[in-house]
Amino acid sequence: MTDSFDSLFNKTFNAGIPGSQFLNACVGTNGHVDKRSYSLGFAEAVDILMHTVTEDQGGTIDALIYPICFCARHQLELFIKEQIDAISPIRSALPQKTLTSTHDINHLWAELVSVATATDRRFSNKLDALKEFVSDFGDIDPTGQTFRYPDNAESERHLVRTPVINILTLRDRFAAMRALIEEFELFTDSIVGEYRRGTLTSKLSRPEIEEIARALPARAEWGSEEFFRAKDEARARHRLSSNDFGKAAEVIQSHPYFCSLIGMKKELRGLSSASIGKLANFMGGKFTADRPAKRRAGRVRNAAHCRVSQLLSRGLRGPVQRGAI
């Protein structure tokens, strides 16, 4: 049946009896729901089921192995799809893929490797660490059918060549895979935040640009033998054309922090020296003429940095708090 809010409940799926609300699960648009939250649910189901078998010695191991393995594999599939969705938009030049309909884990993994490595070289180590786990699941259940049904579409029995699965080995391997998945997710989150700053080129990430800036001589010495040597080394190391290096040099010279690495000074946009003084005074600082100039300037800078950090932090957190459920 439906109500005025166009909700859909029936005798099986509903909000329960009075007093049981603490056992209501929030789903759909009622809360924050995405592929990662689905993935977490399947992962926790694996942990609980394996604990039931290994610690409580409950259930029927020959029956529970199927939902355990299905949930473990589906968590991996959801993780891969979520990462493709998260990484693909980072560089607008990369085509975004819609892979919701496919369950071929080997195909999905190949797509993730392609997208991630084209986006940022730092993904390579994370991908290498997970590769063997994806390969294991791809060998046994490439399309997500092996642990769902006893036979395939041609009526051939699944798992004939793998007649035994040890739960303890599976538990340890799944725990290791899950730890790598969580590490990968955190890394992607940090990369997405980093790229939102816009400090990049089509060939270089922010850390790579910073690395180049640190290797270059002062801006006043550009054109010197030292500069061209550093330029050639950077081009060779990052496989850059002369034009690619030129774009990196433009970013370095225009960025407030990077330009300081080559001896340049750039005023912060929208924050003049007078504004910094006002921020310091806003915090209640008393900067009088009888204090040494260096000490006074240092305190102004410290106070301003603290205040700016607080304001930025509040500004970033505000919308999240207003939208919290």
Helical H segments across the chain, by residue range: 35-54, 61-87, 105-119, 123-140, 167-196, 206-215, 225-238, 242-254, 273-282, 293-322
Q: Which range (130-134, 190-194, 309-313) has the least confidence? A: 309-313
Are residue 155 and residue 189 in the same domain, yes or no?
yes
Predicted confidence at residue 316, as pLDDT, reads 41
Listed in sequence order, the residues at least 6 apart from 144 whose beta carbon sits closer than 8 Å to its beta carbon are 70, 73, 74, 77, 103, 105
Are residue 147 and residue 290 in the same domain, yes or no?
no
Are residue 256 and residue 289 in the same domain, yes or no?
no
Residue 200 has pLDDT above 60, yes or no: yes
Predicted confidence at residue 116, as pLDDT, reads 95
At 202, the pLDDT band (50, 70, 90 cuts) reads: confident
The answer to whether position 16 is within a domain reads no
At 67, the pLDDT band (50, 70, 90 cuts) reads: very high
Are residue 53 and residue 121 in the same domain, yes or no?
yes
SS3 18: coil
Are residue 249 and residue 297 in the same domain, yes or no?
no
The answer to whether position 130 is within a domain reads yes
Q: What is the mean pLDDT of residues 129-152?
A: 97
Q: What is the mean pLDDT of residues 45-59?
A: 93
Are residue 216 and residue 192 in the same domain, yes or no?
no
Residue 278 has pLDDT above 90, yes or no: no
In percent, the amount of the chain with pLDDT more than 70 equals 81
Q: What is the mean pLDDT of residues 59-87?
A: 96
Question: Is pLDDT larger for residue 96 or for residue 305?
Answer: 96
> Which two structure tokens, joined as six digits, stand for 299?
């305190």
Are residue 94 and residue 184 in the same domain, yes or no?
yes
Question: Is pLDDT larger for residue 96 or for residue 316?
Answer: 96
Question: Is pLDDT larger for residue 292 or for residue 240?
Answer: 240
The count of structural domains within the chain is: 3
pLDDT tens string 207-234: 999 999 999 999 999 999 999 999 999 9
Helical H segments across 1-60, by residue range: 35-54
Chain centre to alpha carbon of residue 252: 26
The answer to whether position 171 is within a domain reads yes
What is the pTM (predicted TM-score) of this model?
0.75
d(CA 28, CA 77): 20
At 143, the pLDDT band (50, 70, 90 cuts) reads: very high
Q: Which range (29-33, 56-60, 151-155, 285-289) has the least confidence? A: 285-289
Q: Name the domain boundary from 178, 196, 214.
A: 196
The answer to whether position 96 is within a domain reads yes
Are residue 175 and residue 301 in the same domain, yes or no?
no
The answer to whether position 21 is within a domain reads no
Are residue 137 and residue 277 in the same domain, yes or no?
no
Residue 311 has pLDDT above 50, yes or no: no
Q: What is the mean pLDDT of residues 178-194?
A: 95
Q: What is the mean pLDDT of residues 269-290?
A: 66
Predicted confidence at residue 310, as pLDDT, reads 44
Residue 324 has pLDDT above 50, yes or no: no
Are residue 317 and residue 190 in the same domain, yes or no?
no
The answer to whether position 211 is within a domain reads yes
Q: Which range (70-84, 247-261, 289-303, 310-324) has the least confidence? A: 310-324
DSSP 8-state symbol, 268: P
The answer to whether position 15 is within a domain reads no
Phi, psi of 116 (to 5 degrees): -65, -45
The answer to whether position 108 is within a domain reads yes
Range of the domain at 286: 273-322
Question: Is pLDDT larger for residue 33 or for residue 41?
Answer: 41
Q: Name the domain boundary from 196, 226, 252.
A: 196
Question: Is pLDDT larger for residue 20 or for residue 267?
Answer: 20
Question: Which residues on neighbouring strands pair with residue 8, listed in sequence order?
Answer: 2
Residue 318 has pLDDT above 50, yes or no: no
> Which two structure tokens, joined as six digits, stand for 138?
């791809």
Are residue 182 and residue 249 in the same domain, yes or no?
no
The position carrying tokens 């649910």 is: 41
Are residue 64 and residue 182 in the same domain, yes or no?
yes
Q: Which range (137-151, 190-204, 257-271, 272-286) has the least confidence? A: 272-286
